Amino acid sequence: MSALEYKLIVGLEIHVQLATETKMFCSCGLEFGAEPNSRVCPVCMGMPGVLPVMNKKAYEYSVLAALALNCNITKHTKWDRKSYYYPDLPKNYQISQYDLPMSSDGFIEIQTADGTLKRVGIIRAHLEEDAGKNLHGAGENSQVDLNRAGTPLLEIVTAPDMNSPEEVRLLAEELQRIVRYLGVSEADMQKGHMRFEPNVNLHITRDGQLFKTAIAEVKNLNSFRSIERAVAYECRRQLDEFIDNGRTRENTPKTTMGWDDDRQQTVLQREKEAAHDYRYFPEPDLVPVEMNDEWLGEIKSRLCEMPLARRNRFTSEYKLSEYDAAVLANDRSTGDYFDAVVKFGADPKRACNLITQVGMKLANEAGKNVAQLGAGAKDLAQLADMADKGLISATAAAVIMGEMVSSGKGPMEIAQEKNLLQSSDQDALIKFVDEVLAENPQAVADVKEGGKKKEKARGFLMGKVIQKAKGQANPKVAGELLAKRLEG
């Protein structure tokens, strides 16, 4: 049997729909789920004689995203026509950028399962317009909805630096977080705001000779699950084909594959076109874009701390676990809220627990994020401090936070109203302890004798103390007093 080794090589093409109010080259509004062909005009329908006008906000969103991806921003760029015919492309061409993209030569970092950082290169990121949508649910006929035609799209092309299905998924997830942090896209994959197209091939070594399989591009994946599974399947398919044939097919063109989610496999769609097949030429109806230092500086000022950097800061500065840091940093507003609570003096771990275990449950029920609940950062810091000092129990803290959200009252006011404050008054608590010990001699004897009954008896006595205090005893203080009496 010949010795065979292989390495998976994957690059990604990502299309990100930008969160502008209007389309890329006309004033038609963008609205998901609107009545088909109700958000169209002569420009996006490709009528004769119409002229496009560039959406400035879409261009700025693209530059902002490119800066976050560490790209070089081109000071002079232009628009190009990419010619091809599809029923959902009414002009028979797409306005895009070919040889002078608005940004290039960047990178994105992902954190792999073993905690190491991996850098994936960004070849280019450019701006273009989307096509419409073909609908195939009308019997034997297909229908075309042009509401999406002309939507501003940021296309990001990575270097082929990923070597496992997991790395591809991790990059897709990190990119979603980045564009959401920046506010340039809602990045809702169920609404088609992000579409991923992995380019997959294998480098196979057999008996010291290197073979490269033909690149297969899997089109329009819109879930992290399908991205990972499609790459894994395509890896197996190409490897099996090589093993069956004993070699790679020479001069095989790049192929375009679809993903059949029901059968969990890729299916051949067509051989991929080369750039010259699109007959690119400069768009005659749009002037080039000139980026000056002042405009670029203003866009740079909108950058924020990126998700990965924030996760790492939460673990190093606040000593949170990687899991807790990832949960808090997944959403920008939640991370901002947590930072604000800690700056008001809250213990980071206590603040984290309140936000992740209580706040996120309340937020999920309300259909909001934690920062939108209405509990101020200063009030939550006070609540965390009350729990740390033993003024309230963990259970009471959850009750109080819920009331803070519903009533807008402060935590101390709520604790007093609901009689949730715990007593740490040693004189009062020692009285309860002595009464419990006097009333339960058998339990006291079980504790002092040791053995299997000791811990059960101790817990019984502690429960009786809390009961006598009507639930308002500080468990830590009461426990210490009980232990001293039992040892005396």
Q: Comparing C-alpha atoms, which of 191, 192, 211 is closest to residue 201?
A: 211
Q: What pLDDT shows up at residue 447?
A: 73
Q: What pLDDT shows up at residue 454?
A: 78
When pLDDT is averaged across residues 38-61 and rounded to a whole number, the result is 96
Q: What pLDDT shows up at residue 106?
A: 98
Could you tell me which residues are beta bridge partners of residue 266?
Answer: 259
User: What mean pLDDT, rounded, does the chain reach?
Assistant: 90
pLDDT surpasses 80 at 219: yes
Write the pLDDT tens digit of every residue in 142-155. 899 999 999 999 99
Q: Which amino acid is at 164?
A: S
Rounded Cα distance between 71 and 157, Å, is 12
Confidence class for position 318, pLDDT limits 50, 70, 90: very high
When pLDDT is averaged across residues 110-127 and rounded to a whole number, the result is 95
Looking up tokens 């419990």 gives 436
- Is the whole model's pTM more than 0.95, yes or no? no
For residues 102 and 122, the answer to whether their CB atoms sit within 8 Å is no
When pLDDT is averaged across residues 341-362 and rounded to a whole number, the result is 96
Domains within the chain, CATH numbers bracketed = 11-197+275-296 (no CATH), 307-417 (no CATH), 426-487 (1.10.10.410)
pLDDT surpasses 90 at 115: no
Q: What pLDDT shows up at residue 424?
A: 57
Write the pLDDT tens digit of every residue in 70-80. 999 999 999 99
Rounded Cα distance between 114 and 91, Å, is 49
Rounded Cα distance between 343 and 259, Å, is 48
**Is pLDDT larger for residue 453 or for residue 306?**
306
Q: What pLDDT shows up at residue 473?
A: 67
pLDDT surpasses 90 at 321: yes
Confidence class for position 488, pLDDT limits 50, 70, 90: low
Please report which helix (H) or strand (E) contains residue 80, including its range: strand 80-83
Task: Please tell me the total number of residues recorded for the chain in this structure.
Answer: 488
Least confident of 245-254, 376-385, 400-409: 245-254
**Is pLDDT larger for residue 444 or for residue 283?**
283
Q: What pLDDT shows up at residue 1?
A: 46
pLDDT surpasses 90 at 301: yes
Write the pLDDT tens digit of every residue in 180-202. 999 999 999 999 999 999 999 99
When pLDDT is averaged across residues 456-480 and rounded to a whole number, the result is 72
Q: What pLDDT shows up at residue 471?
A: 64
- Quick count: other Cβ atoms within 10 Å of Cβ 104? 17
Q: What pLDDT shows up at residue 445?
A: 74
As a whole number of angstroms, the longest Cα–Cα distance in the chain is 99
Q: Comparing C-alpha atoms, which of 351, 455, 369 is closest to residue 405?
A: 369
Rounded Cα distance between 37 and 149, Å, is 10
Q: Comparing C-alpha atoms, which of 202, 184, 206 is closest to residue 194?
A: 184
Could you tell me which residues are beta bridge partners of residue 16?
Answer: 154, 194
